[in-house]
């Protein structure tokens, strides 16, 4: 089961609040499985992905899927759903689950070498969405007992120079 974890802000529905915790993919039958809390307990919801074609635009399918299950998926980033649907598509064309995860993960990883000042607006948006995943994973929200508004850490004495300064002597 490919999965992606937590820290999405709660979405409100009539009468209760859905806190998605974890979402994953099941291949038989093809569906997304959501673990969420509704204020009482952790529940599991299975949402079938019907008639998925390998050639479909995973982003469009993800957005359709999100609209259909808005009550539960409102706060789950579309990029997470897109990634899971892409994995399913790769399995449909014959890759093993591991190969599919590796291939899709590579595509869904922030390109650290690229100058994002010089990419198209849609590519910048995509890269930002991927960064958002790490951001959300590491977020310490005000609801978290570890939260400190003015969190300060003093870093003493760097061990050495950054290798980012290596190429040129003059780093001004």
Partner 1 sequence: MEIEGNVNFSVDYSSISKTNEITVKIILLGDSAVGKSKLIERFLMDDYKPHQLSTYALTLFRYKTQVQEKSVSVDFWDTAGQERFESLHPSYYHQANCAVLIFDSVRKVTYKNLKKWYDELRQYRPEIPCLCAANKIDENFDATQKNFAFPTKNRLPFYYVSASDGTNVVKLFNDAISAAIAYRLNPTDVSDQIMDELETLN
Binding site for partner 1 (CB under 8 A): 110, 112-118, 121, 124, 127-128, 131, 134-135, 138-140, 142, 147-153, 155, 158-165, 171-172
Nearest-approach distance from CB 4 to partner 1, in angstroms? 16
* 40 vs 118, beta carbon nearer partner 1: 118
Cis peptide before 29 (omega within 30 of 0): yes
Task: Tell me the pairing of strands 16-26 and 31-37.
Answer: antiparallel
Of 51, 74, 71, 72, the C-alpha closest to 61 is 51
Minimum distance, C-beta of residue 128 to partner 1, in the bound complex (Å): 5
Residue of 33, 44, 41, 35 whose CA lies nearest to 16: 41
* Closest to partner 1 by CB, 28 or 113: 113
User: Residue 4 or 89: which CB sits closer to partner 1?
Assistant: 4
Give the shortest CB-99-to-partner 1 separation in angstroms: 27
Minimum CB–partner distance for residue 118 and partner 1 (Å) = 8
- Residue placing its CB nearer to partner 1 in the complex, 14 or 164: 164
Cα 44 to Cα 22: distance, rounded to the nearest angstrom: 10
Query: For residue 124, what is the enclosing H or E element?
Result: helix 121-138
Residue 98 CB-density burial (10 A; 0-12 exposed, 13-18 middle, 19+ buried): exposed
């Amino acid at each position: 089961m490919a999965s992606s974890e937590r820290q999405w802000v709660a979405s409100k529905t009539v009468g209760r609040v859905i806190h998605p915790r974890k979402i994953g993919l099941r291949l038989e039958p093809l569906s997304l499985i959501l673990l969420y809390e509704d204020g009482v307990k952790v529940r599991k919801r299975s949402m079938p992905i019907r008639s998925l074609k390998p050639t479909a635009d995973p982003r469009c399918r993800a957005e359709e899927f999100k609209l259909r299950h808005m009550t539960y998926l409102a706060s789950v980033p579309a990029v997470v759903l897109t990634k899971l649907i892409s994995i399913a598509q790769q399995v449909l064309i014959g890759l093993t689950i591991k190969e599919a995860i590796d291939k899709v993960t590579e595509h869904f990883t922030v390109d650290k070498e690229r100058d994002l000042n010089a990419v198209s607006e849609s590519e910048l948006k995509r890269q930002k969405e991927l960064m958002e995943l790490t951001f959300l994973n590491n977020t310490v929200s005000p609801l978290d007992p570890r939260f400190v508004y003015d969190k300060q850490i003093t870093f003493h004495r760097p061990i050495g120079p950054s290798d980012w300064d290596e190429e040129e002597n003059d780093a001004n």
